[in-house]
Structure 1
């Protein structure tokens, strides 16, 4: 099986370790991974801010770059939701075709590769935050939890108010910083209350927001992308 990795801007610029973990994980499961170097922004920031026309060239470019791949995989629920939910209306036939071939990482693992036990080892207590795009637009449901529950050594703890937004919301955090910060503080308080060592999610944009707040709290969990947990093994542990 061959798939193209759609890394996304946030991971490329801030969290390259997530991309590396995704490749390690997929290759361990027998997936041949390509990285089309022409990929850039998917156009989500422009689209969400109301600049639909400015987003369209990025939609067309992304559709060209990933043409020819049966599967396009991304460790980002928000970018997957942009492609799946909005590309068909923005970029014509090629964009609609790409939308049908694009998968968020956890749904690719469960629905396409057909696994929940990926051979991971992560001896830590973990709580899981489902991001809004994954929860509401993509309908990831129990897929991330099933993957976490199969990780050896991992103790999964329930996050109070898990289905509540963390307050990031892309440009929402910039336009409404006070509201965004208040929502983030609620999420951080709930995460700390679990006593978990790690708060994980499938979207680094949310983890950027939550993690920044967690880093200011003594003894609070560390924010880690789900891909890094699933890529961790006894031979190549997470650090």
Structure 2
């Protein structure tokens, strides 16, 4: 997986395990700690914010997965983006703007918050400000990839691309081991992400497994057995999620 490491490790390793970052000085880390709220934990399905509300704080995900989604008139809730450990809830819309999406926990979730006054203080630190800008860039890159994924790839390709993206983001946060990573999405949630029926998702996942590209593991984990094969199937390029030089 050396090629993947080269493209993602520096580019996407943002807020996860911030104290180990080499591009922040000790004072940056002290300031960041002083302006983040206490750790909070919520259950699966809990909402961090709802569509139409005004976002009055940023949520920094420490453990677990969350998502942004839209509520449609027919009751469907298509997922518009995933939030993994190290991600921040704002996607560039900014604080004190009315949300056009909801944010909820896909798994039990642990996070901290940053209110507007604290955010302004943090933005005074150039290296910390760069992290927030980088987060916005990654969100944009992922969103563009999702648009292409749904509009230009077949079912297996869409799912393979999603699996590669989640592995790349988990790997960048140091949360993979020998091709194995936490992937808690149900078939219904995958369906909401890639725009396929749950039945189609099930069939396509089984085809990908039969090709020997992935295998399911205990504790909602997946192991990628053939990265190059899976990336080729999903037309996935890790450098699309890296930061500009």
Question: Which has the larger helix fraction?
Answer: 1
Structure with a larger share of its residues in strand: 2
Pairwise same-fold verdict (TM > 0.5) = no
Structure-1-length-normalised TM-score: 0.28
TM-score, normalised on structure 2? 0.28
Work out which structure has the larger RCO, using CA pairs closer than 8 Å and 6 or more positions apart in sequence: 2
